[in-house]
């Protein structure tokens, strides 16, 4: 379940989810963009060491003092949360959410879970191969390929899209040419365009009179009261998730002060916000705009 994305030239008998079911892609993109940089600032922590810590955390094994430090600095809890989201999204894409989460703490249960998953994958592979060969009852003549990203993988759809784009460009060019011919005809006839504005000089006294007759500006409507901010979460994964949700819910970029105002808490919790925003940026879940005093963040 670590790398569910099929290659662009995957064979037709691949075990892709149903066509267009790609809800797992954002989670996968966050993993691939963030896995190589989430531990970069930590001395002595390699990618292998990062996943060894993740495995120990999943199995419920105790961590020594050094591992606890690396666990905190390497944001292993955040990595675990991302993997859990990715696994859940992939299972949902295949329609297998009934399997539930991987029972990491029970070796026998985990083996049974893996066996059940492999059985479903083998059965789906055989079904897809028969469907694409046209031998599955109910499949259309010539077979059916369930493209994961049909606009990019299906040659027929790609050609149709390119043809539609060329037709739109041609139609726009013809419209522009016709408009140019019309303007030239009107200009050569010496006729003025209808509703053409005429120059008019307004005296200083008339200008003052016009200003006096302008309606007064209506008072601005009172702003909608801001709902009370939720409490600042206690654990790091919950904090990262809460900040990501705040950015996603905002239609405009938020400066750091607005992110701080989005929560209420005690103690120096605001000091950790810049690091959380930078982590979200590294994972591809937030984007920084501007710099210095104008710096803001959006999802």
Query: What's the whole-model pTM score?
Result: 0.47
**How far from the centroid of its chain's Cα atoms is residue 190's Cα?**
57
Query: According to the per-residue pLDDT averaged within each range, which of 155-164, 174-183, 203-212 is highest?
Result: 155-164
> How much is the pLDDT for 197?
45
Please state, in angstroms and as integers, the Cα–Cα distance from residue 181 to each residue in 169, 176, 178, 188, 192, following that order: 19, 9, 5, 11, 16
**Structure tokens belonging to residue 49:** 């060491």
Say if CB 86 and CB 31 are below 8 A apart.
Answer: yes
Count how many Cα atoms sit within 13 Å of the Cα of residue 285 in the half-sphere of its side chain: 28
Work out the average pLDDT over 210-230.
53
All structural domains of the chain, each given as residue ranges with its CATH number in brackets, are 25-148 (no CATH), 236-298 (1.10.10.10)
φ and ψ at residue 294, rounded to 5 degrees: -100, 10
What is the rounded distance in angstroms from the CA atom of residue 131 to the CA atom of residue 141? 10
Q: Which residues of 246-269 are buried (b: 16+ CB within 10 A; e: fewer)?
A: bbeebeebbeeeebbebbeeeeeb
Say if CB 154 and CB 145 are below 8 A apart.
Answer: yes
Please state, in angstroms and as integers, the Cα–Cα distance from residue 25 to each residue in 21, 85, 199, 200, 287, following that order: 9, 11, 60, 62, 18
**Structure tokens belonging to residue 155:** 């040659």
User: Rounded to 5 degrees, what angle do the CA atoms 153, 158, 160 make?
Assistant: 150
What is the rounded distance in angstroms from the CA atom of residue 114 to the CA atom of residue 140? 33
Res. 259 pLDDT band, cuts 50 70 90: very high
Position 177 pLDDT exceeds 50? yes
CA-nearest of 167, 7, 4 to 86 is 4
> How much is the pLDDT for 156?
79
Position 239 pLDDT exceeds 60? yes
What is the rounded distance in angstroms from the CA atom of residue 74 to the CA atom of residue 46? 10
What is the rounded distance in angstroms from the CA atom of residue 178 to the CA atom of residue 217? 44
> How much is the pLDDT for 43?
57
> How much is the pLDDT for 134?
86
Torsion of CA 57, 59, 65, 69, to 10 degrees: -10
DSSP letters for 94-111: HT-GGG-S--TT-HHHHH
> How much is the pLDDT for 182?
60
Res. 278 pLDDT band, cuts 50 70 90: confident
Determine what percent of the chain is predicted with pLDDT higher than 70. Answer: 69
Determine what percent of the chain is predicted with pLDDT higher than 90. Answer: 19
Average pLDDT value over all residues in the chain: 75
> How much is the pLDDT for 237?
82
Position 201 pLDDT exceeds 80? no
231: region left, alpha or beta (phi > 0 left; psi from -120 to 50 alpha): beta
Work out the average pLDDT over 155-171.
81
User: Rounded to 5 degrees, what angle do the CA atoms 241, 242, 246 make?
Assistant: 115
For 95-140, what is each residue's pLDDT tens digit? 999 999 999 988 899 999 999 999 999 999 999 899 888 888 888 8
For 37-95, what is each residue's pLDDT tens digit? 444 445 567 888 888 888 888 888 888 888 888 888 778 888 888 899 999 999 998 89
> How much is the pLDDT for 51?
87
Position 186 pLDDT exceeds 80? no
């Amino acid at each position: 379940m670590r790398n569910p994305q099929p290659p662009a030239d995957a064979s037709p008998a691949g075990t892709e989810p149903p066509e267009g079911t790609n809800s797992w892609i954002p989670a996968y993109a966050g993993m691939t963009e963030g896995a190589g940089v989430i531990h970069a600032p930590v001395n002595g922590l390699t990618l292998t060491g990062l996943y060894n810590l993740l495995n120990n955390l999943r199995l419920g094994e105790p961590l020594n003092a050094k591992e606890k430090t690396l666990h905190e600095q390497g944001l292993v809890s955040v990595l675990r949360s991302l993997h859990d989201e990715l696994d859940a999204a992939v299972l949902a894409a295949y329609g297998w959410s009934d399997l539930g989460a991987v029972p990491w703490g029970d070796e026998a249960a985990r083996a049974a879970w893996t066996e059940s998953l492999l059985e479903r994958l083998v059965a789906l592979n055989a079904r897809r191969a028969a469907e694409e060969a046209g031998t599955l009852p109910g499949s259309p003549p010539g077979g059916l390929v369930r493209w994961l990203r049909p606009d990019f993988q299906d040659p027929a759809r790609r050609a149709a899209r390119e043809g539609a784009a060329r037709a739109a460009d041609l139609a726009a060019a013809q419209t522009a040419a016709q408009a140019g011919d019309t303007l030239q005809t009107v200009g050569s006839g010496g006729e003025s365009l209808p509703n053409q504005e005429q120059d008019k000089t307004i005296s200083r006294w008339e200008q003052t009179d016009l200003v006096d007759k302008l309606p007064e500006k209506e008072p601005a409507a009172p702003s909608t009261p801001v709902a009370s901010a939720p409490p600042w979460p206690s654990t790091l994964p919950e904090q990262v998730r809460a900040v990501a949700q705040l950015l996603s819910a905002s239609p405009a970029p938020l400066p750091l002060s607005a992110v701080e105002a989005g929560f209420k808490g005690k103690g120096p919790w605001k000091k950790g916000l810049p690091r959380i925003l930078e982590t979200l940026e590294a994972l591809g879940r937030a984007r920084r705009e501007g710099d210095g005093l104008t710096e803001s963040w959006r999802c």
